[in-house]
Amino acid sequence: MDNRMNILDIWVDCVNMQQALSQVESYVVKGKRPYVVLASNPEKNFSVPNDPLLYETFKQADLLIPDGIGVVEAAKILYGVKLSRVPGVELMQNICAMAAQQGYRIFVFGASEEVSRMACEKLQRIYSGLNIVGRVNGYLGNDEMPGLVREINDSKAQILFLALGSPKQEKWLSDHVAELTTVRVCQGIGGTLDTIAGTVRRAPQLWRQLNLEWLYRLLAEPKRIMRQKLLPIFAVRVLATKFRTAF
Ligand code: UDP
Protein backbone atom coordinates (compact mmCIF):
# COMPACT_ATOMS: atom_id res chain seq x y z
CA MET A 1 0.00 0.00 0.00
CA ASP A 2 1.19 3.54 -0.76
CA ASN A 3 -0.34 5.06 2.35
CA ARG A 4 1.50 2.97 4.91
CA MET A 5 2.42 4.62 8.21
CA ASN A 6 5.13 3.66 10.60
CA ILE A 7 3.84 3.12 14.15
CA LEU A 8 6.92 2.66 16.36
CA ASP A 9 8.39 -0.61 15.07
CA ILE A 10 5.51 -1.72 12.84
CA TRP A 11 3.19 -0.28 10.21
CA VAL A 12 -0.45 0.32 9.46
CA ASP A 13 -2.25 1.23 6.24
CA CYS A 14 -4.59 4.24 6.13
CA VAL A 15 -7.75 2.44 5.12
CA ASN A 16 -11.28 2.44 6.44
CA MET A 17 -13.57 -0.57 6.24
CA GLN A 18 -14.96 0.33 2.82
CA GLN A 19 -11.53 0.89 1.34
CA ALA A 20 -10.20 -2.35 2.83
CA LEU A 21 -13.13 -4.24 1.37
CA SER A 22 -12.68 -2.68 -2.09
CA GLN A 23 -9.00 -3.52 -1.95
CA VAL A 24 -9.83 -7.13 -1.12
CA GLU A 25 -12.30 -7.28 -3.98
CA SER A 26 -9.76 -5.92 -6.44
CA TYR A 27 -7.24 -8.56 -5.29
CA VAL A 28 -9.84 -11.26 -5.99
CA VAL A 29 -10.96 -9.87 -9.33
CA LYS A 30 -7.71 -8.55 -10.80
CA GLY A 31 -4.96 -10.23 -8.75
CA LYS A 32 -2.51 -12.69 -10.27
CA ARG A 33 -1.03 -13.94 -6.99
CA PRO A 34 -2.07 -14.33 -3.34
CA TYR A 35 -2.29 -10.99 -1.50
CA VAL A 36 -1.76 -11.03 2.24
CA VAL A 37 -4.00 -9.11 4.66
CA LEU A 38 -2.87 -8.89 8.29
CA ALA A 39 -4.03 -7.06 11.39
CA SER A 40 -1.95 -4.27 12.86
CA ASN A 41 -2.37 -3.76 16.61
CA PRO A 42 -0.19 -2.74 19.56
CA GLU A 43 0.68 -6.33 20.49
CA LYS A 44 2.42 -6.71 17.13
CA ASN A 45 4.85 -3.98 18.17
CA PHE A 46 6.25 -6.40 20.71
CA SER A 47 6.32 -9.58 18.61
CA VAL A 48 7.10 -8.47 15.06
CA PRO A 49 10.48 -6.74 15.67
CA ASN A 50 11.76 -9.71 17.68
CA ASP A 51 11.13 -12.41 15.13
CA PRO A 52 12.86 -12.02 11.73
CA LEU A 53 10.41 -14.30 9.93
CA LEU A 54 7.36 -12.58 11.39
CA TYR A 55 8.98 -9.21 10.61
CA GLU A 56 9.44 -10.05 6.92
CA THR A 57 5.92 -11.47 6.49
CA PHE A 58 4.38 -8.51 8.28
CA LYS A 59 6.45 -5.96 6.35
CA GLN A 60 5.67 -7.58 3.00
CA ALA A 61 1.93 -7.90 3.70
CA ASP A 62 -0.16 -6.22 1.03
CA LEU A 63 -2.68 -4.77 3.45
CA LEU A 64 -2.16 -4.02 7.15
CA ILE A 65 -5.52 -3.06 8.62
CA PRO A 66 -5.88 -0.80 11.69
CA ASP A 67 -7.31 -3.61 13.82
CA GLY A 68 -6.59 -2.27 17.31
CA ILE A 69 -7.64 1.02 18.91
CA GLY A 70 -4.00 1.46 20.00
CA VAL A 71 -2.72 1.94 16.44
CA VAL A 72 -5.63 4.29 15.66
CA GLU A 73 -4.72 6.49 18.66
CA ALA A 74 -1.02 6.26 17.83
CA ALA A 75 -1.64 7.46 14.25
CA LYS A 76 -3.48 10.47 15.66
CA ILE A 77 -0.79 11.29 18.21
CA LEU A 78 2.19 10.71 15.94
CA TYR A 79 0.91 12.05 12.61
CA GLY A 80 -2.39 13.83 13.31
CA VAL A 81 -4.05 11.25 11.04
CA LYS A 82 -7.58 10.23 11.90
CA LEU A 83 -8.05 6.54 11.18
CA SER A 84 -11.08 4.48 11.99
CA ARG A 85 -10.72 0.95 13.26
CA VAL A 86 -11.01 -1.94 10.85
CA PRO A 87 -11.34 -4.87 13.26
CA GLY A 88 -10.14 -8.08 11.60
CA VAL A 89 -13.24 -9.92 12.79
CA GLU A 90 -15.52 -7.39 11.08
CA LEU A 91 -13.51 -7.28 7.87
CA MET A 92 -13.64 -11.07 7.71
CA GLN A 93 -17.42 -11.07 8.06
CA ASN A 94 -17.79 -8.30 5.49
CA ILE A 95 -15.63 -10.33 3.11
CA CYS A 96 -17.99 -13.27 3.69
CA ALA A 97 -20.99 -11.07 2.87
CA MET A 98 -19.29 -9.92 -0.35
CA ALA A 99 -18.24 -13.48 -1.21
CA ALA A 100 -21.80 -14.74 -0.71
CA GLN A 101 -23.08 -12.06 -3.09
CA GLN A 102 -20.39 -12.49 -5.72
CA GLY A 103 -19.95 -16.26 -5.47
CA TYR A 104 -16.27 -16.10 -4.43
CA ARG A 105 -14.89 -19.40 -3.13
CA ILE A 106 -13.64 -19.52 0.47
CA PHE A 107 -11.31 -21.90 2.31
CA VAL A 108 -10.97 -21.78 6.09
CA PHE A 109 -7.86 -23.15 7.81
CA GLY A 110 -7.37 -23.05 11.57
CA ALA A 111 -8.94 -23.35 15.04
CA SER A 112 -10.07 -26.60 16.67
CA GLU A 113 -12.21 -29.00 14.65
CA GLU A 114 -15.32 -28.14 16.65
CA VAL A 115 -14.83 -24.38 16.44
CA SER A 116 -14.08 -24.59 12.71
CA ARG A 117 -17.23 -26.63 12.03
CA MET A 118 -19.47 -24.45 14.20
CA ALA A 119 -18.08 -21.21 12.79
CA CYS A 120 -18.40 -22.34 9.16
CA GLU A 121 -21.96 -23.54 9.71
CA LYS A 122 -22.84 -20.24 11.34
CA LEU A 123 -21.26 -18.19 8.55
CA GLN A 124 -23.23 -20.17 5.98
CA ARG A 125 -26.42 -19.54 7.94
CA ILE A 126 -25.78 -15.81 8.18
CA TYR A 127 -24.47 -15.28 4.64
CA SER A 128 -26.80 -17.38 2.61
CA GLY A 129 -25.15 -18.94 -0.41
CA LEU A 130 -21.63 -18.55 1.06
CA ASN A 131 -19.46 -21.00 -0.83
CA ILE A 132 -17.03 -22.52 1.68
CA VAL A 133 -15.19 -24.95 -0.57
CA GLY A 134 -13.07 -26.40 2.23
CA ARG A 135 -12.22 -26.16 5.89
CA VAL A 136 -9.43 -27.81 7.86
CA ASN A 137 -8.66 -27.46 11.56
CA GLY A 138 -5.43 -25.82 12.65
CA TYR A 139 -3.85 -28.77 14.38
CA LEU A 140 -2.21 -30.61 11.48
CA GLY A 141 1.34 -31.94 11.60
CA ASN A 142 4.03 -30.47 9.35
CA ASP A 143 3.99 -33.63 7.25
CA GLU A 144 0.35 -32.91 6.38
CA MET A 145 1.07 -29.49 4.86
CA PRO A 146 1.74 -30.63 1.28
CA GLY A 147 -1.64 -32.42 1.32
CA LEU A 148 -3.35 -29.33 2.73
CA VAL A 149 -1.84 -27.06 0.07
CA ARG A 150 -3.02 -29.53 -2.60
CA GLU A 151 -6.50 -29.52 -1.06
CA ILE A 152 -6.65 -25.71 -1.08
CA ASN A 153 -5.47 -25.55 -4.69
CA ASP A 154 -7.82 -28.32 -5.83
CA SER A 155 -10.75 -26.52 -4.19
CA LYS A 156 -9.99 -23.48 -6.42
CA ALA A 157 -10.48 -21.27 -3.37
CA GLN A 158 -10.06 -17.54 -4.05
CA ILE A 159 -10.06 -16.40 -0.42
CA LEU A 160 -8.21 -18.16 2.39
CA PHE A 161 -8.89 -17.34 6.03
CA LEU A 162 -5.99 -18.36 8.22
CA ALA A 163 -7.01 -18.81 11.84
CA LEU A 164 -3.85 -20.12 13.50
CA GLY A 165 -3.13 -17.11 15.72
CA SER A 166 0.00 -15.00 15.51
CA PRO A 167 2.85 -15.81 14.75
CA LYS A 168 1.76 -19.26 13.53
CA GLN A 169 -0.33 -17.93 10.70
CA GLU A 170 2.41 -15.58 9.47
CA LYS A 171 4.92 -18.46 9.57
CA TRP A 172 2.54 -20.65 7.60
CA LEU A 173 2.25 -17.87 5.02
CA SER A 174 5.97 -17.46 4.78
CA ASP A 175 6.35 -21.20 4.09
CA HIS A 176 3.37 -21.81 1.82
CA VAL A 177 1.94 -18.66 0.28
CA ALA A 178 3.98 -19.11 -2.90
CA GLU A 179 2.49 -22.60 -3.37
CA LEU A 180 -1.08 -21.31 -3.55
CA THR A 181 -2.24 -21.29 -7.16
CA THR A 182 -5.84 -20.03 -7.06
CA VAL A 183 -6.00 -18.09 -3.78
CA ARG A 184 -5.90 -14.31 -4.30
CA VAL A 185 -6.48 -13.15 -0.72
CA CYS A 186 -5.13 -14.65 2.51
CA GLN A 187 -6.41 -12.95 5.64
CA GLY A 188 -4.84 -13.80 8.99
CA ILE A 189 -7.83 -13.88 11.32
CA GLY A 190 -6.32 -15.19 14.57
CA GLY A 191 -9.02 -16.22 17.03
CA THR A 192 -11.95 -14.90 14.97
CA LEU A 193 -13.51 -18.33 14.44
CA ASP A 194 -13.79 -18.78 18.21
CA THR A 195 -15.73 -15.52 18.37
CA ILE A 196 -18.02 -16.54 15.50
CA ALA A 197 -18.58 -20.02 16.94
CA GLY A 198 -19.46 -18.35 20.24
CA THR A 199 -16.80 -20.11 22.33
CA VAL A 200 -15.22 -16.68 22.95
CA ARG A 201 -17.59 -13.70 23.24
CA ARG A 202 -16.89 -10.40 21.56
CA ALA A 203 -17.43 -7.24 23.60
CA PRO A 204 -20.99 -5.87 23.45
CA GLN A 205 -21.57 -2.83 21.21
CA LEU A 206 -21.42 -0.28 24.06
CA TRP A 207 -17.97 -1.48 25.17
CA ARG A 208 -16.79 -1.28 21.56
CA GLN A 209 -18.17 2.25 21.16
CA LEU A 210 -16.29 3.30 24.28
CA ASN A 211 -13.11 1.77 22.80
CA LEU A 212 -12.99 -0.69 25.68
CA GLU A 213 -13.03 -3.92 23.71
CA TRP A 214 -9.52 -4.68 25.02
CA LEU A 215 -10.76 -4.37 28.65
CA TYR A 216 -13.74 -6.63 27.97
CA ARG A 217 -11.45 -9.27 26.49
CA LEU A 218 -9.15 -8.99 29.47
CA LEU A 219 -12.02 -9.46 31.94
CA ALA A 220 -13.44 -12.35 29.92
CA GLU A 221 -10.06 -14.07 29.51
CA PRO A 222 -7.79 -13.06 32.42
CA LYS A 223 -4.99 -15.20 30.99
CA ARG A 224 -4.61 -12.47 28.35
CA ILE A 225 -3.05 -10.26 31.05
CA MET A 226 0.43 -11.06 29.72
CA ARG A 227 -0.61 -9.66 26.37
CA GLN A 228 -2.78 -6.80 27.59
CA LYS A 229 -0.13 -5.48 29.95
CA LEU A 230 1.78 -4.49 26.82
CA LEU A 231 -0.85 -1.85 26.03
CA PRO A 232 0.25 0.76 28.60
CA ILE A 233 3.87 0.17 27.61
CA PHE A 234 2.84 0.81 24.00
CA ALA A 235 1.05 4.02 25.02
CA VAL A 236 4.10 5.30 26.89
CA ARG A 237 6.36 4.52 23.93
CA VAL A 238 4.03 6.37 21.54
CA LEU A 239 4.00 9.44 23.81
CA ALA A 240 7.77 9.28 24.26
CA THR A 241 8.25 9.14 20.48
CA LYS A 242 5.91 12.09 20.03
CA PHE A 243 7.75 14.05 22.72
CA ARG A 244 11.15 13.30 21.17
CA THR A 245 10.09 14.33 17.69
CA ALA A 246 8.30 17.48 18.91
CA PHE A 247 11.63 19.15 19.75
N1 UDP B 1 -4.71 -22.35 16.71
C2 UDP B 1 -4.63 -23.30 15.70
N3 UDP B 1 -3.50 -24.08 15.66
C4 UDP B 1 -2.48 -23.95 16.53
C5 UDP B 1 -2.58 -22.96 17.54
C6 UDP B 1 -3.72 -22.16 17.59
O7 UDP B 1 -5.52 -23.43 14.88
O8 UDP B 1 -1.51 -24.70 16.42
C9 UDP B 1 -5.94 -21.51 16.76
C10 UDP B 1 -6.66 -21.56 18.10
O11 UDP B 1 -7.49 -22.71 18.14
C12 UDP B 1 -7.43 -20.25 18.06
C13 UDP B 1 -6.48 -19.32 17.27
O14 UDP B 1 -5.56 -20.19 16.59
O15 UDP B 1 -8.62 -20.42 17.33
C16 UDP B 1 -5.64 -18.40 18.15
O17 UDP B 1 -6.41 -17.43 18.67
P18 UDP B 1 -5.78 -16.16 19.44
O19 UDP B 1 -6.92 -15.35 19.95
O20 UDP B 1 -4.71 -16.60 20.38
O21 UDP B 1 -5.03 -15.42 18.23
P22 UDP B 1 -4.81 -13.88 17.96
O23 UDP B 1 -6.08 -13.38 17.30
O24 UDP B 1 -4.58 -13.19 19.26
O25 UDP B 1 -3.63 -13.88 17.03
Atom of ligand 1 nearest to the CA of 138: 7
Q: Which residues contact 193 (CB under 8 A, 6 or more apart)?
A: 108, 110, 111, 115, 116, 119, 161, 163
235 CA distance to ligand 1 middle (Å)? 25
Atom of ligand 1 nearest to the CA of 166: 25
Q: Is 136 part of a structural domain of the chain?
A: yes
Quote the domain boundaries for residue 26: 4-197
Q: Is 109 part of a structural domain of the chain?
A: yes
Ligand 1: residue of 168, 173, 227 to mutate (most ligand atoms within 8 A of CB) is 168
Integer Cα distance of 218 and 39 in angstroms: 19
Atom of ligand 1 nearest to the CA of 190: 23
Angle at 172 between CA 167 and CA 175, to 5 degrees: 125
Atom of ligand 1 nearest to the CA of 137: 7
Tens digits of pLDDT across the chain (247 residues)? 668 999 998 999 999 999 999 999 999 999 999 999 999 999 999 999 999 999 999 999 999 999 999 999 999 999 999 999 999 999 999 999 999 999 999 999 999 999 999 999 999 999 999 999 999 999 999 999 999 999 999 999 999 999 999 999 999 999 999 999 999 999 999 999 999 998 877 788 888 888 888 888 888 877 777 777 788 899 999 999 988 877 6
138 CA distance to ligand 1 middle (Å)? 8
Q: Is 220 part of a structural domain of the chain?
A: no
Report which protein residue has its CA nearest ligand 1's atom 14: 164
Q: Is 212 part of a structural domain of the chain?
A: no
Q: Which residues contact 45 (CB under 8 A, 6 or more apart)?
A: 7, 8, 9, 10, 230, 234, 237
Q: Is 203 part of a structural domain of the chain?
A: no
The count of structural domains within the chain is 1
Report which protein residue has its CA nearest ligand 1's atom 20: 165
Q: Is 243 part of a structural domain of the chain?
A: no
Residues framing ligand 1 (Cβ under 6 A)? 110-112, 115, 138-139, 163-166, 168, 190-191, 193-194
Q: Is 130 part of a structural domain of the chain?
A: yes
**C-alpha dihedral over 50, 84, 87, 52, to 10 degrees?**
-10
Looking at residue 88, which CATH number applies to its domain? 3.40.50
Q: Are 64 and 72 in contact (CB under 8 A)?
A: no
- Predicted model pTM: 0.92
* Count of C-beta atoms within a 10 Å radius of residue 26: 13
